[in-house]
Amino acid sequence: MRAELAFAQILDKLRIPFELEKIFLNGDRAILVDLYLPKQNVAIEIDGGVHLKQRKYDAGRDRWLLEIYGVRTIRISNNEVLRGREL
């Protein structure tokens, strides 16, 4: 969650509207995304190490969001966010 909050601070500084932990519903299926940019219709997922082992699952989630809601997903690693914060 630390990286997600760091990225949210970046979006705040840039005055980019976003929703933290947005839930998308379709019938009995729900997907929670880390950040959602409504004007751009983009989900941003800040991925930790566990995502290296679940790429197929994540790809399915991303595809579902695109097909059902037209939401594109951008994935950024925790390390990229936290390293960028140090600059």
More confident call, 25 vs 79 = 25
pLDDT in tens, 34-67: 999 999 999 999 987 665 567 888 999 999 999 9
> What integer is the mean pLDDT of 13-39?
94
SS3 28: coil
pTM of the predicted model as reported, rounded to 2 decimal places: 0.85
Q: Which residues contact 47 (CB under 8 A, 6 or more apart)?
A: 58, 75, 76, 77, 78
- Phi/psi at 19 (5° precision): -120, 130
What domains appear along the chain, each with residue ranges and CATH number?
2-86 (3.40.960.10)
- Asked if 24 and 18 touch (Cβ cutoff 8 Å), the reply is no
Measured from the Cβ of residue 63, the count of other Cβ atoms closer than 10 Å reads 11
pLDDT in tens, 59-80: 999 999 999 999 999 999 888 8
